[in-house]
Amino acid sequence: MLCSRSSLRRLERIAVSAWHPVKSMQRERSALPRVYISRKVPPEGLDIIRQSGQVQFELWDSDDPVPRSELLQKVKGVDGLLCMLTEKVDAELLDAAGSPNLKVLSTMSVGFDHLCLDELKKSRGIRVGYTPDVLTDAVAELTIALLLATSRRLIEATHEAKTGGWGTWRTLWLCGYELANSTVGILGLGRIGLSIAERLKPFKVKKFIYTDVAPQPELAEKINAEYVSLEELANQSDFLAVCCALTPETQGICNRKLFSQMKKNAIFINTSRGGTVNQEDLYEALSTGQIAGAGLDVTTPEPLPTDHPLFKVKNCVILPHIASATYTTRNAMSALAANNLLAGLRGEPMAKELKL
């Protein structure tokens, strides 16, 4: 009996000593900052967060956006939020997260029109990271592809080949417009606008023109571009590419007035934000022959309803917002968003921080 009691005490001591590290680890984990990730992100970014050991995180493990009601519940008491452009970060969400709990907001996007900056600027003390630069090449490449597909009527041609419209050779059948000797206009000469122009140079473009909130002489010099008014941009451009951010000033800037000032053979391309375009006015310009064609990677809303009038006109090519959709770029965006988040939670400078 004495022996068995002694053995029992030894077992109890072993159990207690084994339990303490577990409890200690649990306490350490519970002390880590809490983070909510609003979407399944590309693996590079998720690995950075997981392997950092700096946060405890919860993930909405889906390719589809987290429902708003779910998001409002999950952000309660979190220290950090990693979101996409599909999540509207407004007063309701910030109040749900609570102050001063939420310290860092990291968005996996170059645009930030889904963030209510006025609310973030209030004395909430929230730092904001975003992901510019890393998607410049991918967006520029897609813009060129969309421009060529629209101007050379590639989608129409593919449809004709598939459906039996391809008959005998005809002199003007499916004719489009060339970049050689053309004038290309850029609405918003930033990194992406510059990269688009640099890629178009080998096509023997005759002239680059641009408009912006102010002249951009350093960027313009690289492509020998001329600064013009918005009216002159519309008047002169054979191809007009919209590359500006969506702001109160650019909301609906591409409207009936702009389209009425464009050439009848002009091609309009938008890979910025759908809100820069008045889509009713664009439909009218396309359906009446006011302009020759349009290529859109962005619309309002997204996704655009399949019965929308713009889908019914042959001279409009619409893509489902895929400008940054390369494996390299999306992984780079997720990695940058993850690093911004972790740096912000450590109180260190972010690689890319939006200055409020």
**Which residues are catalytic, by number?**
321
- DSSP-derived 3-state class of residue 234: helix
Residue 277 φ then ψ, to 5°: -115, 135
- Of 239, 241, 234, the C-alpha closest to 255 is 234
- The DSSP symbol for 74 reads H
- The DSSP symbol for 183 reads E
User: Is-contact 226 255, C-beta < 8 A?
Assistant: no
User: Is-contact 79 345, C-beta < 8 A?
Assistant: yes
Neighbour count for residue 155 (Cβ, 10 Å): 16
- The CA R_g of the chain, rounded to the nearest whole Å, is 26
Strand order in the sheet with 267-270: 225-227, 207-211, 183-187, 239-242, 267-270, 293-296, 316-318
Write the CB contacts of 309 (distance below 8 Å, at least 6 apart in sequence).
Answer: 283, 287
- Of 120, 134, 188, 189, the C-alpha closest to 340 is 134
Q: Is 97 exposed, middle or buried (CB count within 10 Å of its CB: 0-12, 13-18, 19+)?
A: buried
Q: Which two tokens stand for residue 203?
A: 């096509």
**Tokens 């590359």 sit on residue:** 243
Strand order in the sheet with 127-129: 56-59, 34-37, 80-83, 104-107, 127-129, 353-354
Q: Work out whether strand 80-83 and strand 127-129 pair parallel, antiparallel, or are unpaired.
A: unpaired
